[in-house]
Chains A and B, each alone.
Chain A
Amino acid sequence: MKAKNLLGACLGLSAFLLATFNSLPGLSLAGSIALGIFLLAAIFWILEPIPIYATSMLVILLQVMLLSSQGFVFSVRSAPTVTVKETTGEFDYLVPSSVISSEGLVYQKNADNAIIPLVIERLNIANAEWVTIRSEELDVALPLIADANHRAITGQAYSYSKFYATLASPIIMLFLGGFALAASAVKFGLDKNLTRVLLKPFGSKPSSVCLGLMVCTGALSAFMSNTATTAMMMTVALPIVGSLSPKDPFRKGVALAIPVAANIGGIATPIGTPPNAVALAALRDSGISLSFSSWMIMATPFAAILLLISWRLILSLFKPQTDRFEIAIQGKFQTSPKAIIAYLVFAGTILMWLTEAMHGISTSMVAFIPVALLPAFGVLDKKDIRGFSWEVLWLVAGGISLGLSMKDTGLASWLIGQISWQSFGGVGVVIAFALVGYVLSNLISNTVTATIITPLAITVGATLSVSGDFNLVSGIVAITVIVSCSMVLAISTPPNAIAMSCGIIETKDLARTGLLVGGIGIALAIVMHLIYWPLLM
């Protein structure tokens, strides 16, 4: 374990240094640094010498220090300066010719180290080295940047605050809203009581109870984290498992149905699982903002169909040997004032999310309603707020921030330029990214997988969609839902890990079911990408 961590750390750091200090053809200095950060992050995320959220935080630190306009590399402080040699008229100054950029601008630096670009008029060329310029705005007291081609000016680096701002980006706020809703639902037992009520109509036949469990799990995990849903639903499923004969293969079926349904359910809404956030953020950055309901119209049918297929699959792989069994979930809906407020805020928020077309208030704006109202009414206290999965927000924010630099330093275009994507065709690109994403996300975190491949996919997609060969939204949604279909190993997703550690299913059961569900999911996503999703966008 230790050796693996050391290896990961060394590998990540050396990749970072190599990429940063070797200038590669076609890549700017900022691009090289971004490549270094990308490689370091990817290696750290895959080998996990440090926790994945810590890697995300490290990404933001490196960007702030190395890629921002105030950092070590691109700060104007590192640029040489000169002063005006001679004032030759009211607005006429004699300056070295190197201060004039190719666009005919001159740059001054103020006391706050901010760059002030000045439009000037070039009066004469006294000789090659000295020119007289005219500008009404030039302040003789301030220094001029001596070299107009210095990286502080040509690097076009962002202010460091832009990297920090990713933590408050609309998509992060959307997730924060989801966390607040889920926390209040769990606090007042809404999740369990909904399950109790929803399961009733499914009766006591093993096949329909299994469907009921999967539908409940899927529906809950569309709004809560897949992991929290699995933990809760396992408490419902384990008594059922316990009531079956130890030889009944359906024991495994029930225990498998929960994580499979939780993984699939997360696909259904934007807040279902973090990879959705990564996709939405990337699309947003390309100027496309998807509403809550348009995501659902695209993804919910996919999730529902895959859920039904998985149900039949589980029934045929693990045939029940009993005719009926009982489910007894105790409890009733809480009716304290706080519980009622929690229900109302929950229902109201979701209603507003679904009706964006009518009121025009965007998904991310609505998301702040529960964040503000639930603590205001005392439904959530500070202990609950501390209990949000803040590390997931950092994880996604680091991903968004990295995506920003990859796009704007030209790194993403440079990376995808290594392969001739045109020959793949629109569908080929989706399949290629989906397969890479599927394999990767079975081995590492789904969110990290989405973070690594989405900026690249969106750059390829943007290039292809110009020629009309590619539907960007449909393609990105396809890749994202396929990332969520990975469930072959216990380490593939936290729901799998929970289900495995309950000790009822074996690795081979999970692998067999996971491979089949994943394969069907990939095929279904490709079909929808070809015939259904483009109709909507």
Chain B
Amino acid sequence: MSKLYIMCVDDEPEVLEAVERDLAFFEDVFPLEATSSASEARSVLERIEARGDELAVIFCDHVMPGETGVELLEWMETTEAFGNTKKALLTGQAGLDATIQAVNNANLDFYIQKPWTKENLLSTARDLLTQYVLESGKNPLPYMSMLNAEAVTKAMHESGLVSDE
């Protein structure tokens, strides 16, 4: 079974550590990759793709040295392997233009304003992971302990996965 990853990208080590700590809750089921720049993120993405694994959700800062977060998300949107990845900006400084660009070109799924709260980040991550798993058409059960259980049950009913045979 292919693994589903969560990735966070931020150039400030303290922020990255804090996000990592908050999202550690999912680690049993969804392994976490923390990277400090867009270029590092790209090389990790290459590894994930090469192994046949998938990236379910990315939390990405916008203003970083080198390539910006929105540029990274735009590029991901055009690739086959990461087009369906749920994309969230976790940032304090993305201006209106960059945000519009992210929504229009990178199909941005969520925007979290810094500073974030742990509850908010967890529930956003849970919802995005749930969406990704259900949209990917995978059997949601192995991931169910970490997902929005009601959404999963509803989807199972709708897809007829619940009959006794």
Contacts and interface: CB of A to CB of B under 8 A. Distances in A.
Q: For the complex, would chain A's binding face be called helix, strand, loop or mixed by DSSP majority?
A: helix
B164 A227 contact: yes
B149 interface: yes
Contact of A274 (B29, B145, B152, B164): B164
B113 interface: no
B153 A232 contact: yes
B153 A447 contact: no
B157 interface: yes
A398 to B, nearest CB: 12
Contact of A235 (B152, B157, B158, B160): B152
Given A498-B141, A501-B142, A503-B142, A186 B165 contact: no
B150 to A, nearest CB: 7
A231 B162 contact: yes
B163 interface: yes
B145 to A, nearest CB: 5
Nearest to A53: B165
B163 A227 contact: yes
A447 B152 contact: no
B163 A225 contact: yes
B160 A389 contact: yes
B115 to A, nearest CB: 27
Interface string B131-152: 0000000010110110001101
Interface string A260-295: 000000100000011000000000000000000000
Nearest to A500: B141
Contacts of A266: 164
A447 B160 CA distance: 17
B64 interface: no
Interface in A387-423: 387, 389, 391-392, 395
Contacts of B164: 225-227, 266, 273-274, 389, 392, 446-447, 493-494
A42 interface: no
A501 B141 contact: yes
A75 interface: no
B164 to A, nearest CB: 5
A242 B122 CA distance: 15
Interface in B103-156: 139, 141-142, 144-145, 149-150, 152-153, 156
A266 B163 CA distance: 12
B30 to A, nearest CB: 12
B145 A238 contact: yes
Nearest to B154: A186
Contacts of B160: 387, 389, 391
Contacts of A389: 160, 162-164
A175 to B, nearest CB: 10
A278 to B, nearest CB: 12
B155 to A, nearest CB: 10
Contacts of A186: 157
Nearest to B164: A225
A387 B162 CA distance: 10
Given A445-B165, A447-B165, A494-B164, A241 B145 contact: yes
B165 A235 contact: no
Contacts of B157: 186, 228, 231, 387
- Choose among A273, A445, A498 the residue with the greatest number of B CB atoms under 10 Å from its CB: A498
A225 B142 contact: no
Interface in A227-275: 227-228, 231-232, 234-235, 238, 241-242, 266, 273-274
A118 B29 CA distance: 76
A227 B156 CA distance: 10
A447 B164 CA distance: 8
A447 B163 CA distance: 12
Instruction: Enumerate the 6 nearest inter-chain pairs by beta-carbon distance, A residue then B residue, closest first.
Output: A235-B149, A389-B163, A501-B141, A228-B162, A225-B164, A227-B162
25 contacts: A225-B162, A225-B164, A227-B164, A234-B144, A235-B149, A235-B150, A235-B153, A238-B145, A387-B160, A389-B160, A391-B163, A392-B163, A392-B165, A395-B165, A445-B165, A446-B165, A447-B164, A448-B165, A494-B165, A498-B141, A501-B139, A502-B142, A503-B29, A503-B142, A504-B145
